[in-house]
Amino acid sequence: MAFMPISKKDMQDRGIEQLDFVYIIGDAYVDHPSFGVAIISRLLEYHGYSVGIIAQPDWQGTKDFLKLGKPRLAWLVTAGNIDSMVSHYTVAKRRRSDDAYSAGGVNGKRPDRAATVYCRMCRKAAPEIPVLCGGLEVSLRRFAHYDYWKDCVMPSVLVDTQADLLMYGMGEHQMIEIADRLNAGENIRDMRDIRGTCYLCDPVETPYGAVQCPSFDEVAENKMLYAKACKIQYDQQDEVYGKMIIQRQGDKMLVQNPPAFALTTEELDLVYSLPYERTYHPCYQSQGGVPSIEEVQFSITHNRGCFGFCNFCSIALHQGRRITVRSEESVLEEANKLVKMPNFKGYIHDVGGPTANFRGPSCEKQLKSGLCKGRKCLAPSPCKNLYVDHSEYLQMLRKLRKIDGVKKVFIRSGIRYDYLIEDKDDEFMCELIEHHISGQLKVAPEHCSAAVLDKMGKPHIEAYKRFQKKFYEITKQKGKEQYLVPYLMSSHPGSKLSDAVELAMFLKENRIRPEQVQDFYPTPGTLSTCMFYTGLDPYTLEPVYIAKDPKEKAMQRALLQYYKPENQGKIIEALEKAGRRDLIGHGQGKLVAPDREYMKKQHERQALKTKGKKSGNNKYSKKTQNNRRKR
């Protein structure tokens, strides 16, 4: 095994005169299947193509881009595992101090909007070579989209990147089909029928039979049309019934072909059997390595997709709602590889995916008919057709635990408690608690207000209460001291100050003290971001309350961490603004104790009230005296 070439010397050592593909990436180079770059490059290698990696090049000129020479077939470009703007900025739009995907955790090694910058530089370096872009950043920006950092609607990223094709979704099928057709001599501009890709064309070349979205100009000016466009885009993201979508972008037409077919179990097994080095390139060793490998190096991904379909999540538009899984044999084979690694200490950190406990479709119907448009399998309550079964996942975990050299198998990626609690058999939950938790289980109720949860696309809080009750009952039976750690979100569209107060009281009553709280982050492409920008629910077009005032957002966040002394002032101010002074005080049923400033105001209010009463009761008050004079 060996890493892909990153230098001319590496090419010479392999006897490569010209690479088929040169891959420009925004992350440091890590050859592990948790990184899209590793999967695509290894899959191309498996199909007989040579790939060179240029990680985090100097984008001020073309020199770094040409250090491996021009590719024979195409440039491949990705911003990396996550959106470069999310990587660089907090929700408050402040520059982050670190970057887990760069050597030494140092920020600033890729440009803002990295995919756009890299594509343009590839075009400048070799205008005659096709440019293909993929990855999360471009996948979620493929249509006209609201950009939180510029606070405006931007055109499709294809307009800005000047790329020939955009591959959205996971990319394996698209990439190999494009590679084979390029290798056969086909012009990239003729490849307009590949599923899972987008391209720009002249309006007169627009294909027939597509669903049309309102244009970029229309959605940039009209929020109602933006919301309608968002609904169309989501309604067609199904590999069974999804149609071609078109959207005018100035003098060009954006065409999105239907989604690529999900990989079969056999194809997914192949992807994970490829000869990954499973770590970062040794050139980063002197810089302290690449921090992002630490969490995933000894983790196993057994599935893809998520039918949970939360509105703030990008999975539905990128990876898809359909569940695909690896075979048990493939997962066990990977575990045996981990055991043989020199730095393996006996702990498999995770056996999961987007949702750890999804091991099949939510119902039989979706296999032939696709997933229901505009409906969710679990929210606001479980669909009557929901099929719940953990037996296969449980069997696989049992076998993993028995592998010689494995001390513990953890599950750290998301467990959908709302799915788990619907399982009539407690066997999986019992073994989860007994064998696969290290003191804490992280789950994501996100909120407790039904109105807010509806806008999130999450089940109502009753599902969490049921799960919480059963979790602690079984924990007690097993003699374990384990706790639930809930993920919570403040200021999501639909969340008013009164909803944040309701959540704070729920947390206090249940003795939950969250150490971390996530402010809603309007990332490109999600339904929640559409609500944030338009103030409308794209599926009902009803108005949605949006907390945009920084002061109110700070109050909502503080309420969720009600127990922190430094939040006392903000909480009191929030309670007064929400008309909930009854929650200020000491004892049961109160959220926060009064501070000096509040007590001072209370005394002032009481003094004014008392003065008013005395004034009103005095028969010689000014009002009475004036009336007497008139008489």
Strand segments, DSSP code E, in 45-137 are 51-55, 74-78, 131-134
Single-letter amino acid, residue 72: R
Domain that holds residue 615: 597-630
Cβ atoms of 196 and 178 closer than 8 Å: no
Stretch 354-379: mean pLDDT, rounded?
Answer: 93
Q: What is the DSSP letter of 27?
A: S
Could you tell me if 433 and 522 lie in one domain? no
In a domain, 221, yes or no: no
The contacts found for 382-385 with CB under 8 angstroms, 24 or more apart, are: 382/418, 382/419, 382/422, 382/459
Nearest Cα to 558, choosing from 626, 500, 492? 500
Could you tell me if 526 and 623 lie in one domain? no
Q: How many domains does the chain have?
A: 4
Strand segments, DSSP code E, in 179-289 are 197-201, 211-212, 245-249, 252-256, 279-280
Residue given tokens 């149609």 in the structure block: 243
In a domain, 167, yes or no: yes
Residue 619 burial (CB count, 10 A): 7
In a domain, 539, yes or no: yes
- Examine the fold and report which residue of 170, 197, 224 is the final residue of a domain before the chain moves on: 197
Could you tell me if 539 and 606 lie in one domain? no
Could you tell me if 499 and 413 lie in one domain? no
Residue 126: the pLDDT is 97
Angle at 595 between CA 589 and CA 599, to 5 degrees: 95
Could you tell me if 453 and 578 lie in one domain? yes
- The Cα 483–Cα 275 span in angstroms is 38
Residue 255: the pLDDT is 98
- Cα distances (Å, whole numbers) of residue 423 to 294, 415, 526: 33, 13, 30
Strands 408-409 and 440-446: unpaired
First to last CA, the chain: 108
Could you tell me if 410 and 547 lie in one domain? no
Residues in the chain: 631
Backbone angles phi, psi at 304, to 5 degrees: -140, 155
Could you tell me if 431 and 464 lie in one domain? no
Strand segments, DSSP code E, in 202-326 are 211-212, 245-249, 252-256, 279-280, 299-301, 303-304, 324-325
Cβ atoms of 352 and 413 closer than 8 Å: yes
Residue pLDDT, tens place only, 262-306: 999 999 999 999 999 999 999 999 999 999 999 899 999 999 999
Count Cα atoms within 13 angstroms, Cβ side, for 95: 6
- Examine the fold and report which residue of 416, 438, 460 is the final residue of a domain before the chain moves on: 438
Residue pLDDT, tens place only, 581-619: 999 999 899 999 988 777 777 777 777 777 766 665 554
Cβ atoms of 537 and 531 closer than 8 Å: yes
Residue pLDDT, tens place only, 49-80: 999 999 999 999 999 999 999 999 999 999 99
Residue pLDDT, tens place only, 247-257: 999 999 999 99
Question: Rounded to 5, what percent of the chain is helix, strand, coil?
Answer: 40, 15, 45
- The Cα 463–Cα 29 span in angstroms is 42
Residue given tokens 């010479």 in the structure block: 12
Token readout for 278 is 């499973």
Mean pLDDT of the chain: 94
Angle at which helices 497-509 and 550-560 cross, to 10°: 10
Could you tell me if 492 and 520 lie in one domain? yes
Cβ atoms of 419 and 357 closer than 8 Å: yes
Residue pLDDT, tens place only, 302-322: 999 999 999 999 999 999 999
In this predicted structure, the answer to whether residue 3 has a pLDDT above a threshold of 70 is yes
CATH of the domain at 125: 3.40.50.2300
Could you tell me if 503 and 588 lie in one domain? yes
Helix (H, G, I), strand (E, B) or coil at 322: coil
Nearest Cα to 145, choosing from 124, 130, 166, 164? 166
Cβ atoms of 499 and 470 closer than 8 Å: no
Residue pLDDT, tens place only, 324-364: 999 999 999 999 999 999 999 999 999 999 999 999 999 98
Q: What is the pTM of this model?
A: 0.93
CATH of the domain at 486: 3.30.750.200
In a domain, 215, yes or no: no
Residue pLDDT, tens place only, 439-494: 899 999 999 999 999 999 999 999 999 999 999 999 999 999 999 999 999 999 99
Which stretches within 358-515 are classed as H helix?
Answer: 365-369, 391-401, 417-420, 427-435, 450-456, 461-477, 497-509
In a domain, 455, yes or no: yes
Helix (H, G, I), strand (E, B) or coil at 283: helix
Token readout for 103 is 């050597």
Residue 37: the pLDDT is 97
CATH of the domain at 386: 3.30.750.210
Nearest Cα to 67, choosing from 82, 80, 56, 79? 56
- Examine the fold and report which residue of 181, 197, 213 is the final residue of a domain before the chain moves on: 197
For 22-36, give one letter per residue: b (16+ CB within 10 A) or e. Answer: bbbbbbbbbbbbbbb
Single-letter amino acid, residue 630: K
CB contact set of 469 (below 8 Å; sequence gap of 6+): none
Could you tell me if 485 and 351 lie in one domain? no
In a domain, 210, yes or no: no
In a domain, 291, yes or no: no
Confidence of residue 204 (pLDDT cuts 50, 70, 90): very high
Residue given tokens 């009952």 in the structure block: 473
In a domain, 491, yes or no: yes
Could you tell me if 499 and 538 lie in one domain? yes
CB contact set of 592 (below 8 Å; sequence gap of 6+): 562, 568, 571, 572, 575, 583, 584
Cβ atoms of 253 and 206 closer than 8 Å: yes
Cβ atoms of 23 and 51 closer than 8 Å: yes
Confidence of residue 631 (pLDDT cuts 50, 70, 90): very low
Could you tell me if 345 and 449 lie in one domain? no
